Structure formats: structure tokens, C-alpha cells
């Protein structure tokens, strides 16, 4: 697959302001994002995700590096590179006096979409705002405003849709509606880039994930490989009563859970489960049942962004 986005040596330093010192928000990002993917950009607060997205959107000027969108270098072909991408920003920024329909028309005008190529009514239907098409934006609920932001990002039918924390603080219904739309757009060929705080969501939605920390990419992998990278595993053992613990192999952590089962956590690269079970059986433990729990993306995330 050709790349939807190519980022090389991307740096951003926010200038000092008043008492706030200068801030190196991006410290040399190299990243390519393939066409057609749903790509997750994860990282703790302040990692630099929005800065990177806002540079892609042309809203923030980079300090150094190259950004190419759908094959168009941002500095060489700013108009084409901007036309290839639509961004749903993290902040709710709207003009309170425009109706959803007017907002979409204004946005289409900004992108130079001719009247005959506008799809305002379809977009309103897509995000479920047909009934509110002519209402004042300030009369819309928070969820409706977010849906309008999604529609605005799509007026010029971009190849790439970027969603910056689209589900932070939104209710379940809206979240499901968003993901349904995102999947459908992706099936129709749109490349999707999203940041989210909900790791479970990234696990379910994204083909590939890059984790950013302190302005640098710490890992970039297919979601499946990233999950495979989780090293810690837990055996949950049901026994009779609460027998004394025999000595267990080194670096194994055992603790009783509230339900009377013993949870044994170990590094699955260093140890096999049978070593633990053998140790317990050798001490005369009856083993009624064993369940195993895999580490999830959250564990990977924490181990990569710790410290
Ligand atoms: P994220 O989206 O991952 O939470 P941001 O890109 O918003 O991270 O922020 C990265 C760093 O840059 C943070 O330390 C933040 O305080 C700083 N920062 C973001 N925007 C500005 C700005 N306009 N001026 C100065 N510093 C900023
Ligand atoms: Mg952000």
C-alpha cells in the first residue's frame, strides 16, 4: 500500500510565553501511515498527539521536518495536501450563530467545493442531524456539536479523516454512532487516523498503532503484534481452602483474590505455566480449575510509557 502520510524528522518547539519556557512538543517524529488503514495514535496527555495532528491539518506550523499528505509535500503543494485531509479537532470550536446546514456550506466554501459537488444533506443524514439542520448551533447538545464537527471534517470528501479524541467524554450512543460511521467510511476506502484515551477502543478499532511519549514515537506496530508483546500473564487458580504457598520460581507474584482464587502473575517469556502448576501440585495442592489472563494493550502502554 502506498503511504497516506509520510512524516520525517518532524519537530515542534512552542516558543516561550511569559513565564512558560519554550516547549519541545515534538522531538523528531518519523512515521508513515499506510493508505486504507485505521491507524491509532496513542500516548499520555501532553505526549504531542494534538500537536502532530494540528500540523497535519495545517493549523500549527512545524519547526522542522517534512510532512507529505497523499503524496503532496505540505510545503511544496500546500493546497493539495490540505485538500486530502479532514480533521475533527479535539476542541469544540463553533460559531454559535450558524445552523448545522450553514456551517457545512461555509466549510465547503472554505475548501472551494463547488455547489454542484456539495453533499450537505447526505452529510447531515450521515451524522444524524437532519432534524436539526436549521437549528442554531448554540441550541445543539454537546453530542450534536461533535457530530457536526465530524460532518465538517468530511465536506471536501478527503482521502484521510483524522479524529482527535473523538469519544472523550461522550455517551455510549454517540460513541457507537461514531465508530459505525468511521468503519463505514474506512470500508469505502478512507484512511482513518485517530487518537483515543480508551485503549480498549484502540484495540478493537485500529489495524496499527503508534505510541507517542514526550514528543517521540516509542513504538509502532500492528495492533496484534503489540498485544503479543505484552509479557505478563496471570494464571488464576481455583483450589480447596487456602493452603500454604510453596516456594515459587523467581519473579513470580502470587496473591489471593477476594473470590478465594490464587492469581499468579509471571513473565511468559521467562517462564512456562507448567513450572508454576508443578510447584503447586508438588506441594499437594488440589487444582480444581485454571484460567489464564493475558495482558492487554493497557499493560503494553504502561510498560512503554513508564517513567
Ligand atoms: P496531547 O494531544 O498528546 O495531549 P499536545 O500536543 O496537546 O499533547 O501537547 C504537547 C505538549 O505541548 C504539552 O506539553 C503541551 O502543554 C504543549 N503545548 C500544546 N499546545 C501548546 C501551545 N499552543 N503553546 C505552548 N505549548 C503547547
Ligand atoms: Mg490532545
Count: domains in the chain: 2
Q: What is the pLDDT of residue 270?
A: 85
Whichever domain contains 162, its CATH number is 3.40.50.300
Residue with CA nearest ligand 1 atom 19: 51
CA angle centred on 140, ends 103 and 95, rounded to 5°? 35
Closest ligand (CA of 41): 1
My answer on whether 250 and 188 are in the same domain is: no
| Residues 243 and 260 both lie in one domain | yes
Regions of the chain where pLDDT drops below 70: 1, 295, 307
- Complete edge-to-edge strand list for the sheet that includes strand 64-69: 23-34, 3-14, 64-69, 72-73
CA of 163 to the centre of ligand 1 (A): 17
Residue 191 located in a structural domain = yes
| 285 and 251 share one domain | yes
CA atoms within 13 A on the CB side of 217: 18
Last residue of a domain, one of 167, 200, 227: 227
191 in the same domain as 259? no
pLDDT at 200: 79
pLDDT digits (tens, 9 = 90+) for 258-274: 999 999 999 888 888 99
- pLDDT of amino acid 300: 75
Any atom of ligand 1 within 6 Å of the Cβ of 46: yes
pLDDT at 295: 67
The verdict on 176 and 117 lying in the same domain is yes
The bound ligand whose nearest atom lies closest to the alpha carbon of 54 is: 1
Residues 95 and 153 in one domain: yes
Q: Are residues 26 and 68 in the same domain?
A: yes
Residue 157 and residue 257 in one domain: no
CA of 195 to the centre of ligand 2 (A): 8
CA 151 to chain centre: 19
Structural domain that includes position 277? 231-295
Give the pLDDT confidence score for residue 307 in this predicted structure. 57
Query: CA-to-CA distance for 62 and 56, rounded, in angstroms?
Result: 9
Evaluate whether residue 129 is within a structural domain: yes
The residue whose grid cell reads 494464571 is 235
Judge if 15 and 108 occupy the same domain. yes
Rounded to 10 deg, the angle between the 142-154 and 100-110 helix axes is 30
pLDDT of 139: 85
Amino acid at each position: 500500500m502506498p503511504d497516506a502520510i509520510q512524516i520525517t524528522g518532524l519537530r515542534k518547539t512552542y516558543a516561550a510565553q511569559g513565564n512558560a519556557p519554550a516547549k519541545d512538543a515534538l522531538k523528531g517524529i518519523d512515521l508513515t501511515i499506510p493508505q486504507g488503514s485505521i491507524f491509532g495514535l496513542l500516548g499520555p496527555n501532553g505526549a504531542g498527539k494534538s500537536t502532530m495532528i494540528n500540523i497535519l491539518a495545517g493549523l500549527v506550523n512545524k519547526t522542522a521536518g517534512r510532512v507529505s499528505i497523499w503524496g503532496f509535500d505540505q510545503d511544496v503543494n500546500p493546497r493539495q495536501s490540505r485538500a486530502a485531509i479532514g480533521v475533527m479537532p479535539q476542541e469544540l470550536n463553533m460559531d454559535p450563530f450558524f445552523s448545522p446546514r450553514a456551517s457545512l456550506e461555509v466549510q465547503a466554501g472554505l475548501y472551494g467545493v463547488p455547489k454542484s459537488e456539495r453533499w450537505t444533506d447526505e452529510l447531515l443524514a450521515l451524522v444524524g442531524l437532519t432534524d436539526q439542520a436549521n437549528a442554531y448551533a448554540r441550541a445543539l447538545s454537546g453530542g450534536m456539536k461533535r457530530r457536526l464537527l465530524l460532518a465538517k471534517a468530511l465536506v471536501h470528501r478527503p482521502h484521510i479523516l483524522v479524529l482527535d479524541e473523538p469519544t472523550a467524554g461522550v455517551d455510549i450512543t454517540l460513541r457507537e454512532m461514531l465508530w459505525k460511521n468511521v468503519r463505514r467510511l474506512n470500508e469505502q476506502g478512507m484512511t482513518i487516523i485517530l487518537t483515543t484515551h480508551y485503549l480498549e477502543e484502540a484495540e478493537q478499532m485500529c489495524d496499527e498503532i503508534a505510541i507517542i511519549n514526550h514528543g517521540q514515537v516509542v513504538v509502532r506496530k500492528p495492533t496484534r503484534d503489540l498485544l503479543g508483546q505484552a509479557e505478563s500473564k496471570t494464571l488464576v487458580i481455583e483450589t480447596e481452602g487456602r493452603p500454604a504457598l510453596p516456594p515459587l520460581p523467581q519473579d513470580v507474584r502470587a496473591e489471593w483474590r477476594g473470590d478465594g482464587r490464587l492469581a499468579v502473575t509471571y513473565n511468559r517469556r521467562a517462564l512456562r505455566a507448567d513450572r508454576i502448576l508443578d510447584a503447586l501440585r508438588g506441594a499437594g495442592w488440589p487444582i480444581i480449575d485454571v484460567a489464564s489472563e493475558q495482558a492487554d494493550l493497557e499493560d503494553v502502554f504502561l510498560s512503554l510509557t513508564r517513567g
